[in-house]
Chains A and B, each alone.
Chain A
Amino acid sequence: MLISLIKKECSMWMKSIVFYAYVIILIVFYVSQLEGGELIRKPEPGGDDYGYIYSDDENIIMNGTLKDLVCDFESERDFATYPVGFYKSVTLSEGEREQLASCISRLCKMSREEWEQALVEYSAGYSVEYDELGRETVEEKVPWPIVVPSDMTYEEFEAIMEEVSDIIGPGNNYEKENLKEHAEVKMTYEQALLEYDNILYKDKVSGAYARLFCDYIGIILGLLPVFFGTARVLKDKRSQVKEVVYAKKAGTAAIVCSRYLGIVIMIFLPVLLLSFLPMSKAVFVAKTAGVKVDYLAFVKYAAGWLLPTVLFVTAFSYAITELTEGFLAILAGMVVWFTALFSSVTLQWAGWNLIPRFNSLGEYNLFLYLRPQLVANRIFYTVLALMLLGLTLTVYALKRKGVLKNGKVSENLGS
């Protein structure tokens, strides 16, 4: 019965304006954001920009972190933190700022007056100029003066940074696992070549394109399924078919799951079909480079990366609409989407955010570094989706028995 009902749900969506609006938005979004994008090319020796990479050099990590900390301390009173994956601004008290200044002093073994004076001198000789293409040229008359002394061990540095992290609070950029992110350095030709080889032989080209595809498509999949969940529940209300369906033999699980899976299929199928476009690009690049492409890369990335988003957003809107029988889910979905979209720490980040980002073509090693948090994130949203589906099942079963009506215990119904 379930399979048969899922097929009927899919065929209902095939006649729905919501579905076609979704497909059009999906295509327009893809064409505007991804079509005609960069192709992966082998780096040429003597180039001036091969991109950036996070260094493993402890000295670079220590000095990069100290520089960012001093800049954060001096430029603004508020620190950005992401305690549960979402942005939270932390304002330090005067006492906490004193403690932080003391940590900086211990890191560079200079008094606060000394490093503040050094900063003033550095700033006086610092200038940025932009050419007609908007490219910036930084001129430093004085090299960055606040550095970690060579006799400081990495363990000592980590201990002080732990204090810094405690002062700012959970989810800050100076936690132990985030320190490497302060060590962004320009790639050398050799590193760029290694990166290129990773794309060809480890990513098999299609993996790199699939990540970029998932990054962009994940943005709209964080919102659009909301309309499907709401539309499906309200369709029953508007068409006055609730009681007819309630009274039928089909179990609550079969009815709710068929509707849920029908939506998920109808959202996910166009995404898979759309992925043929970047896939063809990947095939072209792979053939040009003479390597074998992974034809299933897009399916694997989409299933692991995008499907949990679809599952969660659909379950979220379905549960809320089943409970309230109104448009509240759309409003709530928009709030969740805006929060998720604008709380990403960087464009290569997952955290606990609904919309994980990886806005790069390639950067295989960086992806490997971020993959554990992405996997945890996706499992989290899948589990959350299943819990919401369980809630929907309970609400539907109670409504079917007349215990709940629009989320309220039934009273004063018609005779």
Chain B
Amino acid sequence: MTKRKFGLGLSLVLAAGTILGACGSKDEETTTPKDSEGTGSEGTTEAVDFSLAMVTDVGGVDDKSFNQSAWEGIEAFGKENGLEKGDGGYDYLQSTSDADYITNINNLVRRDFDVVYGIGFLMEEPIKTIAAQQKDAQLAIIDSIVDAPNVASVMFKEQEGSFLAGVAAALMSESKQIGFVGGMEIPVIERFEAGFLEGVKAVDPSIKVDVQYTGKFDDAALGKTTANRMYSSGVDIIFHAAGGTGNGVFAEAKERKTKDANANVWVIGVDSDQYEEGAVGDTNVTLTSMLKKVGTAVQNIAKDAMAGNFPGGTTVTYGLAEEGVGLADSRGAIPQDVLDQIDEFTKKIADGEIVVPETVE
């Protein structure tokens, strides 16, 4: 009996397949013209004749952090200039493993985007390789330097922004215990750590900072347990520089806040303004966020390229002075007097009076 039913099911599936197949081909007919229009290398659009695309690292485009802010920058640029998502406009490809970077970058280059961005230091080698092979392509890399005439490199002085985050944390901490949750122990993240520790020290050298590296950028569960341990040990403010793993830090803080509205737990976000991440009902656990304006950097390169001045072969470094890093609006979480002190430090760093080290001493 059951066999017969299965047989019936089988034939239904087969039948459905053929019908769906038919639908599919109809679909294709309608989409094809649009498509071919798009693939025309210099598509004639009513908007600007410029296109750009990016490749994410394994974190994905919705990592609420690094990749996302890059994509938001691209989206904003595209809208501003009347571009559409897709060929001839703006687009992104997501990577699922290290081996995918080259393919993804290559695919975008082949689709004739004017500028292709590799987001993150992991793209260094792939960008280098493609730059050598596709000499006409205009490539850009964030967080790493690739020495090639057709690659624009963007670096950030994460340590400067993190210094301010450290100042804010040190001044706001009641327990005088602060936490730092890092992703992988790589130079970029170490700059975050170094700046942050320096900032704390500048305010109060006696404050203990618990530094933990999770080794991963995409493990929210791990971030949550790490945060749990920190908060339980008396830490009241955690600064995370761990991409998706950091989402777990927010989750833990919000959980504690939900259970006890008076709980003194704060998170300092990273890369983009993570205020939304910290919302618990009417309150919020986000103290502030260390902004790394990847979006701005991406847009700046795009603007230059559109104007015919693609900054190939150069490295632009964004620090406090260039307003490439900084703290996000705290929405009242940080009182004015503290903000004033932060502003003072900002000035000193921008003026070069304080030089924040890149590595932990």
Q: Is B one of A's binding partners? A: no
CB within 8 Å of B: which residues of A?
none
